[in-house]
């Protein structure tokens, strides 16, 4: 009777010890499964880094495409307006061609030719408003004696393009008496683009308006040529705009279906 009782107590003690070891083992198992090892943490961090880089890359591509698409859209509007001008007037708008044969594609008179002007008090006054241009200004900036698309009465003037205030900007004169140009939706940065491209040309040389005036430096005009043998569209006109995005300059134009990278920083 004494030995049986002793044996029972021993077995009971061993069972309790087993239960305690099981509880400790389960607790340890739960604790370790709830945490991460160093290797697991490094793997998670690396995955997050890869995903972040992919998101940044996709966002940059989307931003580039948006800017190029906006520039192409405006250029297409100008193309249609120029063709309408040709159908009505009988010729394409003149470009800024000077007596020496040089054409300044940047300081062109497209704004006035497409918007239309009224000749009043010896001034070519834009239908869009503002002060007019005299013949001396036309000769110095455009190489011509005046604006071809003009009328003596506003009721007889012809406008081929509806313009908002973001479609044009002054590039000469002051706020009340200024010469205006058609501009694109993407501005040039105040700071010059750094580096040299593969042709050895400074990236800063591509800025269309080289001025110390902060308001002028950022302007990005549509460039235009309708004369000369060294253009792409010999039977019509060349129209383009250079769009700076990041370290690249894209040319959106009317002689190729897609924008082309014309320069990127090489060194």
User: Within a domain: residue 61?
Assistant: yes
Look at 262 and 42; give whichever has higher pLDDT.
Answer: 262
Residue 164: predicted pLDDT = 92
Query: Given this model, what pLDDT does residue 174 score?
Result: 53
Reply yes or no on whether the pLDDT at 248 is more than 80.
Answer: yes
pLDDT in tens, 41-100: 788 887 887 777 766 666 677 889 999 999 999 999 999 999 999 999 999 999 999 999
Q: Rounded to 10 degrees, what is the CA torsion of 148, 80, 164, 151?
A: 20
In angstroms, what CA-CA distances link 134 with 19, 100, 111, 140, 234? Answer: 104, 22, 15, 10, 31
Residue 1 placed within a domain: no
- Return the pLDDT at 48: 80
Whether 251 maps to a domain, the answer reads yes
Strands (E), the chain: 117-120, 123-126, 150-151, 168-173, 178-182, 223-225, 238-245, 248-253, 260-264
How many whole angstroms separate alpha carbon 216 and alpha carbon 203?
Answer: 18
- In a domain? residue 22: no
Q: Tens digit of pLDDT for each residue in 177-211?
A: 579 999 999 999 999 998 898 889 999 999 999 99
Residue 12 located in a structural domain: no
Domain housing 166? 51-264
The pLDDT confidence band at residue 221, using thresholds 50, 70 and 90, is very high
- Residue 16: pLDDT above 70? no
Reported as a single tens digit per residue, the pLDDT across 130-176 is 889 999 999 999 999 999 999 999 889 999 999 999 999 988 765 54
Give the chain's domain count.
1
From the CB of residue 258, how many other CB atoms can be counted at a distance below 10 Å? Answer: 9
Reported pTM: 0.77
* Res. 29: pLDDT tops 50: no
The rounded distance, in Å, linking the Cα atoms of 220 and 229 is 25
> What's the confidence (pLDDT) of residue 115?
96
What pLDDT, on the 0 to 100 scale, is given for residue 27?
Answer: 46
Domain membership of residue 177 (yes or no) is yes
For the chain, the distance separating the N- and C-terminal CA atoms, rounded to the nearest angstrom, is 99
Domain assignment present for residue 25? The answer is no
pLDDT at 32 over 50: no
Considering the domain boundaries, does residue 94 fall inside one?
A: yes
Look at residue 28 in the predicted model and tell me its pLDDT: 42
For residues 124-131, average pLDDT: 89
pLDDT at 49: 76
DSSP code string of 52-109: HHHHHHHHHHHHHHHHHHHHHHHHHHHHHHHHHHHHHHSSPPP--B-TTS-B-SSS--
Separation between Cα atoms, residue 149 and residue 147, nearest integer Å: 6
Mean pLDDT of 246-262: 94
């Amino acid at each position: 009777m004494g030995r049986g009782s002793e044996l029972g107590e021993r077995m009971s003690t061993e069972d309790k010890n087993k239960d305690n070891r099981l509880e400790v083992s389960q607790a340890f198992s739960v604790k370790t499964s709830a945490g991460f090892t160093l290797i697991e943490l490094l793997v998670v961090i690396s995955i997050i880094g890869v995903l972040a880089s992919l998101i940044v890359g996709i966002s940059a591509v989307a931003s580039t495409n948006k800017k190029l698409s906006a520039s192409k859209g405006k250029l297409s509007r100008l193309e249609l307006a120029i063709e309408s001008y040709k159908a009505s007037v009988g010729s394409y708008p003149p470009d800024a061609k000077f007596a020496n044969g040089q054409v300044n594609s940047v300081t062109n008179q497209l704004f006035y030719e497409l918007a239309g002007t009224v000749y009043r008090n010896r001034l070519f006054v834009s239908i869009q408003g503002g002060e007019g241009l005299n013949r001396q200004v036309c000769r110095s900036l455009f190489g011509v004696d005046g604006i071809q698309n003009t009328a003596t009465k506003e009721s007889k003037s012809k406008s081929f393009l509806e313009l908002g205030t973001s479609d044009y900007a002054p590039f000469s004169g002051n706020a009340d008496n200024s010469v205006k140009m058609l501009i694109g939706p993407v501005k040039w940065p105040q700071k010059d683009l750094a580096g040299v491209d593969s042709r050895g040309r400074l990236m800063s040389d591509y800025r269309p308006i080289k001025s110390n005036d902060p308001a002028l430096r950022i302007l990005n005009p549509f460039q235009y040529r309708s004369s000369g043998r060294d253009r792409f569209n010999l039977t019509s006109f060349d129209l383009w705009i250079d769009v700076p995005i990041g370290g690249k300059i894209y040319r959106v134009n009317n002689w190729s279906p897609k924008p082309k990278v014309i320069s990127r920083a090489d060194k």
